């Protein structure tokens, strides 16, 4: 038996300055889906993720929190482990840059680079951005601030060791030319060449003396190794490079793909390959810079506090539903807009309506008409042949799409098969055949259900990398032996001997969009309150606030000058408001209790400094106050005796 071909894939190692957000989950779920696909496809996979735990930012944050840096990161890292378990991440190795083996190997690497003449000591004077951990020259600053994040920089002057990055400029350009997929997608290549390589590379500061939270330089311990050597080298230290046992390094290196966010492509395609060149090591086969998930206000970041909590969404909607959205919604190399409405709509359309409906209808008919025992019957008509063709199209397109990290395309192909199977039910109308006592109709009915089970079987196998738990349930509902669940069997149609189906739970319940958008905010508040400690029963007790906190909320009287129902919504009303000459529009979910004419010319109390949000296409700027008077009984708080615009204190 021949040895399996290896496949090594990595995410960046994440900076544990705060809880991770949906952008980190996006990259890690994608890497997990690719790793699962490669394992199914017969590869010996190494999937690496981890945490980058050193640096001045961590040191300062820990001191502010009254902890040592290690105590601080330990808490964050524990949360990251919990998040990856919740999202069903199947990493083979998790590296922490505080691990002893990593620290020892980094000292070996630093000494190797120094002994080869690629690291030298000199005084550094320039600008430093602590949040980004980046050095900048005068001409690189934008309006005096960091060109990456826009925040202020500090003037730094200290003795440092430098890596001769400029030495490798020509070799890097030559490598890009000879290996056109090294930087992917192609748009990232032009960015690297035009913005960084061609303007000229400068040597890189790779040690610091202004803080101590790092790995000491082995021959000069007043210096600590800086992030470029410490963090980037994790991809080889995790495999044992620089240690007594480098068997995994020899087995898995070079990496097939580094998955990274587009904002750190330059570190992985300029600095990292230059370090590897200096060490005489093979370069990665590909660095893939994925796009960002954006909010309407722009990029989310931990430092801005405008992040989306992936743990909350996975808890609310289920791990598989959340994973599916991340992989299906946006082409992996492009930016995309995240919204709760888009997430819920995708779950409803694809998972509840299409996939869930197909599985439920098929299993119900199988049990009702044949007691779950469905034998193989050859295809006898064009409808069946068209379904088989849809299966073959999904099969043909799936592997090349996954190999190219085109998760959206791979899943779209599977769901074309799912949609075609639902259409097949409508075309063949098995419920009519079930009423017939004719033996030919009985055979025809079994043929239809067999073909539907085959479609579900193929979809279930192909969906394993994206939605592993739901896919496993789909296959178990069909009562298949192991050979008919095997990966290669996903690329056949009509060879399964038969099915012993059973009805199971609903895979993906449909979500009431309008109701959920409202309830989600309450769920977030309750969850955040619960994270702060145990709560008493009854009304959820939120954390105490100060008078200064309360003063941040601006309440004003607003007159309703117009009111109408929001299209395609049975819960939302659109209110046009007057605040003493200032016009506002809000969307509010009170249609169940109030008609538009009930509110016109009434004065309400408005939270007027709430950030804008969009509901069903209505930009809503504010929120009215109402009382939950009991179950299914909401009363708006009116202020008809007060003038529009008046403050409420």
Q: Could you report the per-residue pLDDT of 448-483, keeping only the tens digit for each?
A: 999 999 999 999 999 999 999 999 999 999 998 888
Look at the block and give the residue holding tokens 């008078």. Answer: 547
> Which range is least confidently modeled, 32-36, 296-300, 359-363?
296-300
**Which tokens sit at 640?**
């008809």
Q: Which tens digit of pLDDT belongs to each residue from 528-564?
A: 766 665 433 334 445 677 777 788 889 999 999 999 9
- Outline which parts of the chain fall under CATH 1.10.730.10: 346-500
Residues in Cβ contact with 436 at an 8 Å cutoff, skipping those fewer than 6 apart: 442
- Judge whether 182 and 283 are in contact, CB under 8 Å: yes
pLDDT attached to residue 298:
57
Residue 432 has pLDDT above 80, yes or no: yes
pLDDT of the residue at 299? 58
- Taking the C-alpha atoms of residue 483 and residue 499, their distance in angstroms, rounded to an integer, is 13
Q: Where in the chain is the domain with CATH 2.40.50.140?
A: 544-648
What is residue 485's predicted lDDT score, i.e. its pLDDT? 86
- pLDDT of 386 > 80? The answer is yes
Residue 27, pLDDT above cutoff 70 = yes
What pLDDT shows up at residue 301? 56
Predicted TM-score (pTM) of this structure: 0.79
- Segment 511-517 mean pLDDT: 90
Residue 134 has pLDDT above 80, yes or no: no
Please compute the mean of the pLDDT values over residues 568-579 and round it to a whole number.
87
The predicted pLDDT at position 527 comes to 73
248 vs 528, residue with greater confidence: 248
CA distance 544 to 578: 33
Between CA 255 and CA 249 the distance in angstroms is: 10
Place 19 in a pLDDT band, splitting at 50, 70 and 90.
confident
Q: In the predicted model, what is the mean pLDDT of residues 327-331?
A: 94
User: 29-43, 56-70, 228-242, 343-357: lowest mean pLDDT where?
Assistant: 56-70
Report pLDDT for 559. Answer: 95
CATH of 544-648, one of 3.10.450.200, 2.60.120.260, 3.40.50.2300, 2.40.50.140: 2.40.50.140
R_g (Cα) of the chain, nearest Å: 29
| pLDDT-based confidence at residue 130 (cuts at 50, 70, 90) | confident
- Residue 101: phi and psi, rounded to 5, are -65, -35
- pLDDT beyond 60 at 297: no
Mean pLDDT of the region 380-402:
96
User: Which numeric CATH code is attached to 346-500?
Assistant: 1.10.730.10
Whether residue 592 has pLDDT greater than 90: no
Range of 76-90, 285-299, 503-517 with top mean pLDDT: 76-90
What's the confidence (pLDDT) of residue 541?
Answer: 46
Residue 240 contacts residue 248 (beta carbons within 8 Å): yes
Across the chain, mean pLDDT equals: 91
């Amino acid at each position: 038996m021949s040895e399996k071909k290896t496949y090594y894939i990595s995410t960046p190692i994440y900076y544990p300055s705060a809880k991770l957000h949906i952008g980190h989950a996006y990259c890690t779920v994608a890497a997990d889906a690719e790793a699962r696909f490669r394992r199914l496809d017969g590869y010996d996979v190494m999937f690496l993720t981890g945490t980058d735990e050193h640096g001045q930012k961590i040191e300062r944050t820990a001191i502010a929190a009254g902890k040592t840096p290690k105590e601080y990161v330990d808490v964050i890292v524990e949360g990251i482990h919990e998040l990856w378990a919740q999202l069903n991440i199947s990493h083979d190795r998790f590296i922490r840059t505080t691990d002893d083996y990593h620290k020892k190997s980094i000292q070996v690497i630093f000494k190797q680079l120094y002994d080869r003449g690629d690291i030298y000591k000199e005084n550094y004077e320039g600008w430093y951005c602590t949040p980004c951990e980046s050095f900048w020259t005068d001409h690189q600053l934008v309006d005096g601030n960091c060109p990456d994040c826009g925040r202020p920089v500090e003037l730094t002057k200290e003795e440092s060791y430098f890596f001769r990055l400029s030495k490798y400029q020509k070799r890097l350009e030559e490598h890009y030319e000879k290996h056109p997929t090294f930087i992917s997608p192609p748009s990232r290549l032009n960015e690297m060449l035009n913005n960084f390589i061609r303007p000229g590379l400068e040597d890189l500061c790779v040690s610091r003396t202004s803080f101590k939270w790092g790995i000491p330089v082995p021959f000069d311990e007043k210096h600590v190794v800086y992030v470029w050597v410490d963090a980037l080298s994790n991809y080889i230290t995790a495999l044992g490079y620089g240690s007594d046992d480098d068997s995994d390094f020899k087995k898995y290196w070079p990496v097939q793909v580094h998955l990274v966010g587009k904002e750190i492509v330059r570190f992985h395609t300029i600095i990292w390959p230059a370090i590897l060149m200096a060490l005489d090591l093979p370069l990665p086969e590909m660095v893939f810079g994925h796009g960002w998930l954006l909010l309407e206000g722009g990029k989310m970041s931990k430092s801005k506090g405008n992040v989306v909590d992936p743990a909350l969404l996975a808890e609310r909607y289920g791990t598989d539903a959340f994973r599916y959205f991340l992989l299906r919604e946006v082409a992996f190399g492009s930016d995309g807009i995240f919204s709760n409405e888009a997430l819920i709509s995708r779950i409803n359309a694809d998972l509840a309506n299409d996939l869930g409906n197909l599985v439920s209808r098929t299993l119900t008919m199988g049990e009702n008409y044949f007691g779950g025992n469905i034998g193989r019957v050859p295809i006898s008509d064009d409808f069946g042949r068209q379904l088989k063709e849809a299966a073959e199209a999904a099969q043909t397109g799936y592997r090349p799409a996954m190999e190219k990290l085109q998760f959206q395309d791979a899943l779209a192909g599977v769901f074309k098969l799912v949609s075609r199977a639902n259409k097949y039910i409508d075309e063949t109308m098995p419920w009519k055949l079930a009423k017939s006592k004719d033996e030919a109709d009985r055979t025809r009915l079994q043929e239809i259900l067999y073909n539907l089970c085959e479609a579900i079987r193929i979809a279930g196998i192909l969906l394993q990398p994206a939605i592993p738990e739901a896919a496993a349930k789909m296959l178990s509902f069909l009562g298949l032996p192991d050979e008919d669940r095997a990966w290669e069997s996903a690329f056949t149609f009509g060879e399964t001997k038969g099915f012993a189906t059973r009805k199971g739970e609903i895979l993906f319940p449909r979500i009431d969009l309008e109701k959920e958008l409202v309830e989600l905010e309450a769920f977030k508040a309750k969850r955040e309150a619960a994270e702060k400690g145990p709560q008493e029963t009854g009304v959820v007790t939120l954390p105490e606030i100060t008078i200064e906190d309360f003063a941040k909320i601006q309440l004003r009287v607003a007159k309703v000058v117009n009111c109408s129902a929001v299209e395609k919504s049975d819960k939302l009303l659109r209110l046009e408001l007057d605040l003493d000459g200032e016009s506002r529009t809000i969307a509010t979910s009170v249609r169940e209790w109030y008609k538009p004419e009930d509110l016109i010319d009434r004065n309400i109390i408005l939270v007027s400094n709430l950030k804008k949000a969009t509901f069903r296409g209505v930009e809503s700027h504010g929120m009215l106050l109402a009382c939950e008077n009991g179950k299914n009984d909401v009363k708006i708080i009116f202020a008809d005796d007060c003038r529009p615009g008046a403050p409420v204190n």
